[in-house]
Amino acid sequence: MRVRRDKNLEKILDVDPLVISKFPFKLKQDTIIELGSGKGTMISALALKNPSQNYLCVERDRTIASKAIEKFNDLNLKNINLIVSDIQHLTEIIENKVNTIWLTFSDPWPKNRHEHRRLTYKTFLDLYKKFLSPQGVIKLKTDNDKFFHYSLESMSEFGMKILYQTNDLHNSIKNLDNEMTDYEKKWSSLGKSINYLEASF
């Protein structure tokens, strides 16, 4: 669903210290990145629970990113930062490699002509490989079954190792440490099981 732009709210992005605006930005290896973090519901819950862990959100929509920053400030989080950017530009604006990348409820882009826009298409996987450490892991959650199967195939064809997969995250062992996104709360409340995988290069 398209979010109506709020230019007044977006002004927070120009002044808030949690927003990274000077590049290249050097990441600590233990930083956990969420790509397409939306309003930051999941990652803020993780940051609150793990205050010694570093987190980075990447969100291209300025209004949505502004809502995430408001949430981080409301929770008084100091271990989280945000970059407003398209994912394609990440290797140009961040330095160093990280151990964990989250892809949460990415747009499935169901039409074949839009395959190249899916965040598990081969060009994106090649991008992630450049800033994921050799022992690093990509974690993916989605309610969309077709996108999940596509992601499994795309990652396997790219030569990645599927370390774990389930079609029912909330009834798996991985749910013990799970924090839900807004989409996850919505779809699980309607009875939809959540797909989850972990993969490495």
Is 19:13 a contact under the CB 8 Å cutoff? yes
**What span, in angstroms and rounded, lies between the C-alpha atoms of 155 and 158?**
5
Pairing of strands 132-142, 195-200: antiparallel
For residue 179, say whether it is annotated as part of any ligand binding site: no
Residue 104: enclosing H or E segment and its boundaries?
strand 98-104
With beta carbons less than 8 A apart as the criterion, state whether 84 and 9 touch. no
C-alpha dihedral (89, 141, 162, 175), degrees to nearest 10: 140
Using the Cα atoms of residue 56, residue 58, residue 61 and residue 62 in order, give the sign of their dihedral.
positive
Based on the residue annotation, tell me whether 74 is a catalytic residue of this protein: no
The verdict on whether residue 34 carries a ligand-binding annotation is yes
Task: Please indicate if the annotation marks 150 as binding a ligand.
Answer: no
Q: Is 181 annotated as a binding residue?
A: yes
Among 6, 30, 107, 145, which one carries the catalytic annotation?
107
Would you say 97 is a known binding-site residue? no
**Residue 183 annotated as binding?**
yes
Annotated binding-site residue? 30? no
Q: Is 74 a known ligand-binding residue? A: no
Given CA atoms 84, 90, 92, 97 in this order, what sign does their dihedral have? positive
Q: For residues 19 and 10, what is the distance between their CA atoms, to the nearest angstrom?
A: 12
Q: Which two tokens stand for residue 27?
A: 């990441």
Provide the 8-state DSSP code for 34: E
Residue positions forming the annotated binding site for substrate:
111, 143, 181-184
Residue positions forming the annotated binding site for S-adenosyl-L-methionine:
34, 59, 86, 107
Catalytic residues: 107
